[in-house]
């Protein structure tokens, strides 16, 4: 409701253009009555358990009575905006919390209160029991992927900011969970990990790694026997190893099949007259070029990129260690006759 009389002298107010804004000015004493947005505190609290959820309350009063929203309310005099958020959380949902970050600060035109400034914080529960307070009909945790429609647009922006903020963290956690689950199943490097995204590198650029490996292996001092071979035949052998690696990463190549592939490869190299150290060096050179390709394509400077590269390092190392070991077994078995 717009003021009509001056709070200083009770004189009538009129609208005047001052500083490029319409201001209410007292026609008697000249007092300018500035109108500012009302500060509103809002708080987003993640729920417990493996299913990602957010604390929501059903509004008991207008505006938007009966709608679900994040705990929200006006800041009081003598409290800062963080204190207001935690107080409203306690009053509306019954829990104590600590502020962990700022998600959004946005203007909003309320149908009842006019221009308000809604500041939404993320907070972590530290105590209390979830229950509706005086301003709420219900309080519950709603799954993040099935949230009710939030009537306040700044709260919707805050939820979107929360998802963006934690996106990489959730991917890393999910990948670690896949790693631990794979460990329990005896398959340490099962699919479903963050570095699976780099499989596209194998699909798009594996040929580049193969060609660089061929150029290296045909000139490297540790692989002299390869210097006389046809480059296309060597490239085909490099493709064979990378195809096995891709199938293993995708979980389509069982461990026993992987074992037999490389035992046979080692035996064949022995029959072709290679030295064991040359066979081992050929694997290590291929690993080097593959790894360089992954780093070049997969690292853009984000924390998630760093994690993906480190995770993939473990998977590449495991695969090539496994391949070298079984190729050596096959080579030695052939040598014994």
Tens digits of residue pLDDT in 259-277: 898 999 999 999 999 999 9
* In the chain, ranges of CATH 3.90.79.10 domains: 38-154
| Burial grade of 22 (CB within 10 A; 0-12, 13-18, 19 or more) | exposed
Q: Closest Cα to residue 240, out of 269, 206, 274, 273?
A: 206
* In the chain, ranges of CATH 2.20.70 domains: 1-35
- Per residue in 223-248, pLDDT tens? 999 999 899 999 999 999 999 888 88
CATH superfamily for 38-154 is: Nucleoside Triphosphate Pyrophosphohydrolase (3.90.79.10)
Who has greater pLDDT, 32 or 99? 99
Using a cut of 0.85, tell me whether the model's pTM lies above it: no
| pLDDT, the chain, mean | 91
pLDDT of residue 112: 83
* In the chain, ranges of CATH 1.10.490.70 domains: 194-335
pLDDT of residue 311: 87
Reported as a pLDDT band with limits 50, 70 and 90, residue 7 is confident
**Mean pLDDT computed over 177-192:** 68
pLDDT of residue 4: 85
Class at the top of the CATH hierarchy for domain 1-35: mainly beta
- Per residue in 68-92, pLDDT tens? 999 999 999 999 999 999 999 999 9
**Mean pLDDT computed over 17-41:** 88
- Per residue in 199-222, pLDDT tens? 788 888 889 999 999 999 999 999
Pick the CATH number of 194-335 from 1.10.490.70, 3.40.50.300, 2.60.40.740, 2.40.160.20: 1.10.490.70
Q: Are 128 and 95 in contact (CB under 8 A)?
A: yes
Reported as a pLDDT band with limits 50, 70 and 90, residue 251 is confident
CA angle 12, 18, 22 (to 5 degrees): 65
- The answer on pLDDT for 185 being more than 60 is yes
- Per residue in 12-21, pLDDT tens? 999 898 888 8
Written as six digits, the tokens of 179 are 């790693």
Three-state SS annotation for 231-265: HHHHHHHHHHHHHHHHHHHCCCCCHHHHHHHHHHH
- The answer on pLDDT for 189 being more than 60 is no
């Amino acid at each position: 409701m717009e003021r009509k009389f001056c709070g200083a002298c009770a004189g009538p107010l009129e609208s005047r253009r001052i500083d490029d804004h319409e201001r209410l000015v007292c026609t008697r004493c000249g007092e300018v009555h500035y109108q500012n947005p009302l500060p509103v505190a809002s708080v987003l609290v993640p729920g417990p358990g493996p299913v990602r959820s957010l604390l929501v309350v059903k509004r008991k009063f207008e505006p938007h009575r009966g709608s679900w929203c994040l705990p929200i309310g006006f800041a009081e005099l003598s409290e800062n905006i963080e204190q207001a958020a935690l107080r409203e959380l306690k009053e509306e949902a019954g829990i104590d919390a600590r502020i962990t970050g700022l998600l959004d600060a946005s203007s909003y035109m309320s149908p009842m209160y006019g221009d308000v400034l809604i500041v939404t914080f993320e907070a972590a529960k530290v105590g209390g029991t979830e229950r509706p307070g005086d301003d709420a009909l219900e309080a519950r945790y709603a799954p993040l992927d099935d949230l009710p429609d939030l009537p306040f647009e700044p709260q919707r922006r805050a939820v979107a900011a929360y998802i963006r903020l934690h996106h990489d963290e959730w991917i890393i956690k999910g990948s670690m969970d896949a790693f631990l689950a794979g460990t329990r199943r005896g398959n340490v490097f099962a699919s479903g990990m963050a570095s699976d995204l780099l499989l596209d590198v194998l699909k798009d650029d594996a040929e580049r790694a193969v060609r660089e490996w061929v150029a290296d292996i045909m000139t490297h001092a540790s692989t002299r026997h390869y210097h006389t071979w046809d480059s296309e035949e060597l490239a085909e052998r490099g493709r064979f190893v990378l195809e096995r690696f891709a199938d293993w990463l995708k979980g389509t190549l069982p461990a026993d099949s992987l074992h037999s592939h490389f035992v046979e490869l080692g035996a064949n190299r022995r029959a072709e007259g290679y030295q064991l150290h040359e066979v081992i060096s050929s694997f290590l050179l291929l690993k080097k070029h593959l790894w360089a390709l992954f780093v070049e394509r997969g690292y853009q400077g984000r924390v998630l990129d760093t994690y993906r590269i480190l995770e993939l390092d473990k998977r590449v190392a495991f695969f090539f260690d496994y391949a070298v070991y079984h190729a050596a077994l096959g080579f030695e078995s052939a040598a014994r006759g």
